[in-house]
Amino acid sequence: MAKDLAIDVHGLTKRFGQKIAVNGIDIAVPDGEVWGFLGPNGSGKTTTIRMLCGLLHADAGEGTCLGYNLRTQPDEIKRAVGYMTQKFSFWEDLSIRENLEFVARMYELPDGNAKVNDTIARLGLEGRQQQLAGELSGGWKQRLALAACMLHSPRLLLLDEPTAGVDPKARRDFWDEIHRLSGEGLTVLVSTHYMDEAERCDRIVYINQSKLVARGTVAEVIKESGLHTFVVEGPGARQLVSQLQDAPGVEFVAFFGAVLHVSGHDRDALMRALQPVDGRQGLRVHETSPSLEDVFIQLQEKTG
């Protein structure tokens, strides 16, 4: 049986003056799934998320969020979702507990104190609940922001680059928590620039220059790109960039550590371009599966 849709919007469009920030976006996110929302800065991710949570009015398009009409029921949507902004938006001169108590009052939760206690325990904040928010590291600020999003027991989380600027362990802990919540039935749409995070999502949506250009599972997006990638490794591989990027069939060359990824859609042309390099002065060339980053570089250059 098909899942109900937590988000089901069509033709979502937003203009700011003459600028089209979001252009005809369609998104359908089933209940209980974790979706990644990707795209370069300025592509329209934040504007889309703000429309989905009822903070911005769409200029065109229609649909529902948690069953509420996007255009006519924004207040109901605001109370039913948890929205975590890019920028830390809590009071730095209040403690963790004081911040959460204030949020509970804003939502007019009848059992606010119990909800605060439960959320603090659930997110491992007991030992820091009296610490001022302004004294917290990036990872703990992130955990406070997530706790505030969860206080009113939302059915959908909309997270806008929640792990930007935090260390790898804090990112891993955050994603472990997201998947635990998803296992309990919560739906999550999270924007990110990190490819390893995108690969932890059930599905991904990629937008560029305000338009949706790819969606599906990671494997589907890679397969549908039609991209072929070869790795060049060995002494002096970095010095080959200018030679390779102008060769017929080569669409882009990217550094991945000490090796080069050379990609394009014409596999035979790529092999011809790389044949003079293979075996030269210890250089080695071999084909590999395109990474998600390879695909996104190609998508960005193609639609940029």
**pLDDT score of 284:** 93
Tell me the pLDDT tens digit for each residue of 242-274: 889 889 999 989 888 889 999 999 999 999 999
Residue 83 is assigned to a structural domain of this protein: yes
**Beta strands across the sheet bearing 228-233:** 252-256, 259-264, 228-233, 284-288
Task: Give the pair of three-digit tokens for residue 228.
Answer: 């072929």
Tell me the pLDDT tens digit for each residue of 219-245: 999 999 999 999 999 988 888 888 898
Question: Looking at the structure, do residues 236 and 99 belong to the same domain, yes or no?
Answer: no
Question: Looking at the structure, do residues 250 and 205 belong to the same domain, yes or no?
Answer: no
Boundary of a domain, candidates 194, 216, 238: 216
Judged against a pLDDT cut of 80, whether residue 146 lies above it is answered with: yes
Residue 179 is assigned to a structural domain of this protein: yes
- Beta carbons within 8 Å of 61's beta carbon, 6+ residues apart: 9, 10, 11, 12, 13, 24, 25, 70
Tell me the pLDDT tens digit for each residue of 288-297: 999 998 898 8
Domain that holds residue 183: 5-216
Residue 269 is assigned to a structural domain of this protein: yes
Tell me the pLDDT tens digit for each residue of 30-66: 999 999 999 888 899 999 999 999 999 999 999 999 9
Question: Looking at the structure, do residues 66 and 192 belong to the same domain, yes or no?
Answer: yes
Residue 289 is assigned to a structural domain of this protein: yes
Question: Looking at the structure, do residues 87 and 182 belong to the same domain, yes or no?
Answer: yes
pTM for this one?
0.88
Boundary of a domain, candidates 216, 249, 273: 216
Q: How far apart are CA 28 and CA 65, in angstroms?
A: 10
> Residue 299, Cα to own-chain centre: how many angstroms?
16
Residue 210 is assigned to a structural domain of this protein: yes
Q: How confident is the model at residue 304 (pLDDT cuts 50, 70, 90)?
A: low
Given CA atoms 192, 193, 199, 204 in this order, what sign does their dihedral have?
A: positive
Question: Looking at the structure, do residues 156 and 33 belong to the same domain, yes or no?
Answer: yes
**pLDDT score of 3:** 67
Residue 286 is assigned to a structural domain of this protein: yes
Under DSSP, is residue 60 helix (H, G, I), strand (E, B) or coil?
Answer: strand
Q: 303 versus 189: which is more confidently predicted?
A: 189
Judged against a pLDDT cut of 70, whether residue 303 lies above it is answered with: no
Question: Looking at the structure, do residues 167 and 269 belong to the same domain, yes or no?
Answer: no
Tell me the pLDDT tens digit for each residue of 78-124: 999 999 988 878 899 999 999 999 999 988 998 889 999 999 998 88
Judged against a pLDDT cut of 50, whether residue 1 lies above it is answered with: no
DSSP annotation of 57 reads -
Residue 221 is assigned to a structural domain of this protein: no
Boundary of a domain, candidates 187, 216, 245: 216
The average pLDDT across 171-192 equals 91
Question: Looking at the structure, do residues 142 and 236 belong to the same domain, yes or no?
Answer: no
Q: How far apart are CA 69 and CA 77, in angstroms?
A: 8
Question: Looking at the structure, do residues 138 and 41 belong to the same domain, yes or no?
Answer: yes
Question: Looking at the structure, do residues 50 and 174 belong to the same domain, yes or no?
Answer: yes
Average pLDDT value for the chain: 91
- Per the structure, the count of domains in the chain is 2
Residue 69 Cα distances to 8, 74, 82, 237, 298, angstroms: 10, 7, 17, 55, 36
Residue 199 is assigned to a structural domain of this protein: yes
CATH code (residue 232): 3.30.70.250
Question: Looking at the structure, do residues 209 and 230 belong to the same domain, yes or no?
Answer: no
